[in-house]
Amino acid sequence: MNVAKLTTGLPRQCFRTAPCRIVRGMVAARSVTTGAAASSTPSGSGDFDFDLFTIGAGSGGVRGSRFAASYGAKVAVCELPFDYVSSERAGGVGGTCVLRGCVPKKLMVYAAQYAEEFKAAEGFGWTLPAGAVQHSWTSFIEAKRKELQRLNNAYKNTLNNAKVTLIEGRGRLVDPHTVEVDGRRYRARNILIAVGGRASRLDIPGAELCITSDEALELQECPKKIAVLGGGYIAVEFSGIFGRLGAEVHTCYRQPLPLRGFDGEVRKFAADQYTAAGLHLHPGVTPVKVVRQDDGRLTLTVQHGGPTGHTEELRDLDQVLMATGRVPNTSGLGLSEAGVALGPRGQVRVDEFCRTAVPSIWAVGDVIDRIQLTPVALMEGMAVAKSIALNQPSQPDYWAVPSAVFSHPEIASVGYTEEAAAEVYGDLDIYSTSFRPMKNTISGSPLRTFMKIVVDAASQKVVGMHMVGAEAAEIMQGFAVAVKLGATKAQMDSVVGIHPSAAEEFVTMRSVTRKVRKPEPAAAS
Ligand SMILES: Cc1cc2nc3c(=O)[nH]c(=O)nc-3n(C[C@H](O)[C@H](O)[C@H](O)COP(=O)(O)OP(=O)(O)OC[C@H]3O[C@@H](n4cnc5c(N)ncnc54)[C@H](O)[C@@H]3O)c2cc1C
Ligand SMILES: NC(=O)c1ccc[n+]([C@@H]2O[C@H](COP(=O)([O-])OP(=O)(O)OC[C@H]3O[C@@H](n4cnc5c(N)ncnc54)[C@H](O)[C@@H]3O)[C@@H](O)[C@H]2O)c1
């Protein structure tokens, strides 16, 4: 199954290529009992230590293990020892999201938001004497570390309470029913690969001088000047964090706009807002090299346009953050030797049940490189737990997966972009609005909000919703329910707004902004 082509609702994978209508047929087929056998028993052998052995205790691994155990399976999971920065030897129960992804990133976003709030407060009559408001990076990092330790322990307790055996160490496949952890072998009826991914570094001179998101969450001090390479989720989120915390931020990406795969209007609006918020955007550039200056700071060289384009130096940088994608953690895992097929990026190839070519081996989460989001890894882990432990072959449902980018301002989406919807449905009605949020009328902030509804003209179903602005994530989660349930525009219009709020705009946009119509086929001459 080509989920990259089929999935909808998420920018990266779904909107790059046009999703096809089959996906909705597949949605209806969720949790059906098909010919796919649920759990696997090797011929002539029943002597297993566990029903399920999971490699990796991140989002997908913990969820799959915990639910399989709750359904009565005997489960073990192995995970690398804890550290804040991941490596070949370090990880920690909780995985990327909890220890070096969603959670610490969102804590940093909260830290950064205060800067904006202090500024806004003056417009509302507050006086903040010069120098009275200071941010201690050290105290923040300490508090963040404490919270991550708490969460790491909480996840261990969750596994323990679910009666999942936790084994610390690096797992490796020996054969379709055997996992080796630091020299000790375990036999399992089923094996779940949930090893996630890690930040990839560009192969340019000076790459070793750069940091990735792991280190960005663990810096000794907030950089005064930083270059961020990439225009994806991580690049724009960290640009917003460091920008609000006072750094001069240069965000460098190859495309004309950041956030490839998102709705075109959203990308344009977001780029304008990032500039208004103070980021220095460098579109259409390719990083060439990074060198250490005599004073210890860094110089980044970028090239404009193609290989013949002129080069530009960004000097006096405290840090260069590579946010140029993540690669699956599959090297040295023994997957190919066990017969598991890998894709070109090293991702584990699975079918619609998250099962690999080897019937006893399953894989979920970032390692299968479908949609790299925690809630998706959780959904896949639950599906595998049901398939294995309840003998109910279950498919994850990728339609209308909402997502948010915690940049400044925030972005959230569900369903199709206008570009993808036009390919799928042909004729669309587009409703959009842009306005200055009430708070910013006197806060002094130049930031505006953008909202957009994509409607299939024929059925009048809302097939995509997009927002750039404060609280976009919180607002979009609720509307995702409506999109997933197939709400029409008229049904949405029938909902009474909550006033005064930004969210009410989504139920009060009554006039079509644009009609997108499929071009008529040229008449035969
Ligand atoms: C900076 C950042 C911010 C993010 N923000 C968000 C967000 O806001 N919202 C969102 O939905 N998603 C976000 N993500 C993505 C999200 O973190 C991932 O999609 C999610 O963690 C994937 O879960 P997983 O179970 O596939 O892998 P992981 O959570 O990466 O877990 C894999 C685990 O396997 C362990 N492991 C690896 N190899 C082995 C081995 N051989 N033996 C034993 N253990 C092993 C690792 O140590 C790790 O703990 C973010 C990611 C990053 C990097
Ligand atoms: N809020 C969230 O939900 C959230 C936050 C962070 C990360 N994530 C997940 O983690 C994944 C990884 O995040 P990411 O931002 O690293 O990846 P990404 O795929 O979103 O962005 C990678 C960026 O690097 C650029 N790039 C890739 N190769 C390059 C090269 N050779 N030279 C120059 N630029 C190059 C790409 O063009 C793109 O702009 C995301 O896809 C997302 O699914 C989600």
254 lines ligand 2 (CB under 6 A): yes
Residues 312 and 366 in one domain: no
Considering the domain boundaries, does residue 502 fall inside one?
yes
Final residue before a domain boundary, out of 271, 296, 324: 324
Residue 25 has a pLDDT of 25
User: Rounded to an integer, what distance in angstroms lies between the CA atom of residue 144 and that of residue 107?
Assistant: 7
Considering the domain boundaries, does residue 4 fall inside one?
no
Indicate the pTM of the whole model.
0.93
* Residue ranges in 371-454 assigned as alpha helix (H): 374-389, 418-425, 438-443
371 lines ligand 1 (CB under 6 A): no
- Total length of the chain: 525
- State yes or no: 343 annotated in a binding site: no
Considering the domain boundaries, does residue 399 fall inside one?
no
Let me know the angle formed at the C-alpha of 117 by 116 and 123, rounded to the nearest 5 degrees: 100
User: Rounded to an integer, what distance in angstroms lies between the CA atom of residue 336 and that of residue 351?
Assistant: 17
Final residue before a domain boundary, out of 273, 303, 324: 324
User: Rounded to an integer, what distance in angstroms lies between the CA atom of residue 274 and that of residue 410?
Assistant: 10
Residues 87 and 189 in one domain: yes
pLDDT in tens, the chain (525 residues): 334 333 333 333 332 323 322 222 222 223 333 334 445 544 334 689 999 999 999 999 999 999 999 999 999 999 999 999 999 899 999 999 999 999 999 999 999 999 999 999 999 999 998 888 999 999 999 999 999 999 999 999 999 999 999 999 999 999 999 999 999 999 999 999 999 999 999 999 999 999 999 999 999 999 999 999 999 999 999 999 999 999 999 999 999 999 999 999 999 999 999 999 999 999 999 999 999 999 999 999 999 987 788 999 999 999 999 999 999 999 999 999 999 999 999 999 999 999 999 999 999 999 999 999 999 999 999 999 999 999 999 999 999 999 999 999 999 999 999 999 999 999 999 999 999 999 999 999 999 999 999 999 999 999 999 999 999 999 999 999 999 999 999 999 999 999 999 999 999 999 999 999 988 888 766
- State yes or no: 454 annotated in a binding site: no
Residues 231 and 219 in one domain: yes
Considering the domain boundaries, does residue 257 fall inside one?
yes
- Residue 417: give the domain boundaries: 409-516
Residues 218 and 193 in one domain: no
Considering the domain boundaries, does residue 398 fall inside one?
no
Residues 93 and 234 in one domain: no
Residues 470 and 364 in one domain: no
User: Rounded to an integer, what distance in angstroms lies between the CA atom of residue 452 and that of residue 470?
Assistant: 15
Closest by CA to 351, choosing from 375, 299, 387, is 387
Residue 17 has a pLDDT of 29
CB neighbours of residue 49 within 10 Å: 16
235 lines ligand 2 (CB under 6 A): yes
- HSE-up (13 A, CA, CB side) for residue 188: 36
- State yes or no: 486 annotated in a binding site: no
CB neighbours of residue 108 within 10 Å: 23
CB neighbours of residue 65 within 10 Å: 31
Residues 315 and 342 in one domain: no
User: Rounded to an integer, what distance in angstroms lies between the CA atom of residue 95 and that of residue 365?
Assistant: 11
Nearest ligand 1 atom to the CA of 86 is 47
Closest by CA to 83, choosing from 145, 142, 141, is 145
Instruction: Give 95 Cα–ligand 1 centroid separation in angstroms.
Output: 5
Residues 58 and 153 in one domain: yes
CATH, residue 503 = 3.30.390.30
Residues 38 and 155 in one domain: yes
Residue 84 has a pLDDT of 94
Instruction: Give 229 Cα–ligand 2 centroid separation in angstroms.
Output: 10
Split into its structural domains, the chain has a count of 3
Helix or strand holding residue 248 (H, E): strand 248-252
CATH, residue 238 = 3.50.50.60
Residues 228 and 305 in one domain: yes
Final residue before a domain boundary, out of 307, 324, 341: 324
Instruction: Give 347 Cα–ligand 1 centroid separation in angstroms.
Output: 14
Considering the domain boundaries, does residue 373 fall inside one?
yes
Considering the domain boundaries, does residue 524 fall inside one?
no
Residues 193 and 59 in one domain: yes
User: Rounded to an integer, what distance in angstroms lies between the CA atom of residue 210 and that of residue 327?
Assistant: 17
240 lines ligand 1 (CB under 6 A): no
ipTM metric: 0.98
Question: Contacts from 98-101 at CB under 8 Å and sequence distance 24+?
Answer: 98/58, 98/59, 98/148, 98/151, 98/152, 98/155, 99/148, 99/151, 99/152, 100/213, 100/214, 100/217, 101/213, 101/374
Considering the domain boundaries, does residue 133 fall inside one?
no
Residue 520 has a pLDDT of 82
Active-site residue list: 499
Residue 318: C-alpha distances to residues 141, 247, 248, 370 (Å):
18, 10, 10, 34
- State yes or no: 218 annotated in a binding site: no
Residues 269 and 334 in one domain: no
Instruction: Give 486 Cα–ligand 1 centroid separation in angstroms.
Output: 31
